Amino acid sequence: MTDFQAAITEFAVRQAEREAQAQIEIQHLKGVVIPPLRTAGIVRVEIGFDGYGDSGAVEECVCYDAANASVACPDAAAEPFRPETSEGNVDGEPQSLAVALESLGYLALERHHPGWELNDGAYGQLVIDVAEASFTLDCSLRFTATDDHSTEL
């Protein structure tokens, strides 16, 4: 096998490992954000993002109560992700619920729309229905298109 082929194979293996790890962490975060949201009476969360020009960010995280009123994100803790393979499996400090929700947004984008922040980018939101414990990532991808014509007369 040539060095180039070996590099491509190694890259593919590492990419698959990163995707699997991201999926595990997403499942963990989905499990730890729902209980404190329910306890606080939050029924829906909208995590908005926007990216373009090779940068992007989760721009807002809005929580809604049963009356559909926007309320502050609860000041609650969420269990941090502790991979079983981490050295010593050291207990981490609990993270804030707001940080956990933002992390969930970034991981969902990384897993399902890698490169969402590149070039023309993408925008959208991750919507959490707390009662149903459902998570929906709505992502609108931007692109520049051309329609070129050449006619010899």
Helix (H) or strand (E) holding 78: strand 77-78
CA gap 17, 33 in Å, rounded: 24
pLDDT, tens only, 5-48: 999 999 999 989 988 898 999 999 999 999 999 999 999 999 99
In this prediction, residue 79 has a pLDDT band, given cuts at 50, 70 and 90, of confident
Instruction: In whole angstroms, give the CA distance from residue 74 to residue 41.
Output: 9
Distance between CA atoms of 5 and 11, rounded to whole angstroms?
A: 10
pLDDT in tens, 86-119: 555 455 678 999 999 999 999 999 999 999 999 9
- pTM here is 0.84
Tokens of 44: 């829906």
111-130 pLDDT per residue, tens: 999 999 999 999 999 999 99
Domain spans, the chain: 3-141
Q: Do 33 and 100 meet the contact criterion of CB atoms below 8 Å apart?
A: yes
